[in-house]
Amino acid sequence: MEHPGERARGAEDDGMGRLHVQEWGRGERVAVLVHGMTTDAGSWWRMGPELAERGYRVLAPDLPGHGESPRGAYTLRGMGEALAESVPRGPELALGHSLGGTVLAYAVERLRPARAVYEDPPWGAPPGPEVAAFLDAQRGWTLERLAAFHPAWPEQAVREKHRGLSRWDPATVEVAREYPGRRRTPPPGPSLVLAGDRQPMIDEALAGQLRTEGYEVRVVAGAGHNIHNDDGDGFLAALDGWL
């Protein structure tokens, strides 16, 4: 679905890299939104327009192996380099969800955002092979099954997830072998970690460790791993002071 002010472009449009990038708004401030595994820029179906209305030019790249971006050999470092080559340096805000948060951690020193937000990054125990098998199985799910699995998600969130799964290269799960990836300690700039209280990625012990390392940590009550779809209003409220 097209949104007001939404545009999609390839790397050839302005020489900023090789990833496909979806864009909302024409504001002077830049926000970069980086999706998680199995989805693509469509994951930001609500947040892109929301930030555009707040005066941002919003750039949402499809990570390698997702959406309309190229396929190939997948590593967290390679994805981070592709991200850094595909968006302008020095955005006001860079926000990455799950895999996108881990990729952002590889690119953050090069991107130098004024503020970085990591939505439930996999910085705890790495997932086992059963997680990869479960993600791959979802490619065969119907819209109805996806909706039943995510009962709190708006209809468009389910549609975008279904579309993202149809365009996702399951070989990208190879990067899970590199989890928890890396993070800068202390972070190179103001950095927020958002976690839901119904997920295993950021437990209380890890949250405490992150705070000692210089990250601010906020928890959204009642949300799971995908906070911006589980509770869009709660997600925006948790970003108070960061937008």
What are phi and psi for residue 119, nearest 5 degrees?
-90, 105
pLDDT of residue 16: 33
Is residue 150 within 8 Å of 158, Cβ to Cβ?
yes
pLDDT of residue 11: 39
pLDDT reading at 3 higher than 70: no
Question: How confident is the prediction for the chain on average, in pLDDT?
Answer: 91
Dihedral angle, C-alpha 68, 127, 32, 12, nearest 10 °: -30
The band of 132, judged by pLDDT with boundaries at 50, 70 and 90, is confident
Higher-pLDDT residue of 35 and 13 is 35
Q: How far from 197 is each of 97, 201, 203, 225, CA to CA, in Å?
A: 16, 10, 8, 9
pLDDT of residue 8: 54
The band of 6, judged by pLDDT with boundaries at 50, 70 and 90, is low
pLDDT of residue 62: 98
pLDDT reading at 15 higher than 50: no
pLDDT digits (tens, 9 = 90+) for 189-199: 999 999 998 87
Name the token pair of 220: 């959204």
Among the listed residues 73, 69, 122, 117, the one whose alpha carbon sits nearest the alpha carbon of residue 92? 117
**Strand extents, DSSP E, 28-109:** 29-34, 56-61, 93-97
- Out of 17-21, 57-61, 136-140, the most confident range is 57-61
> Could you tell me which residues come within 8 angstroms of residue 226 by beta carbon, excluding any fewer than 6 positions away?
36, 97, 98, 120, 150, 153
pLDDT of residue 130: 87
pLDDT of residue 10: 45
Distance CA(106)–CA(23), nearest Å, equals: 22
pLDDT digits (tens, 9 = 90+) for 202-223: 999 999 999 999 999 999 999 9
Amino acid, single-letter form, for residue 13: D
The band of 2, judged by pLDDT with boundaries at 50, 70 and 90, is very low
Q: Is the pTM of this model over 0.75?
A: yes
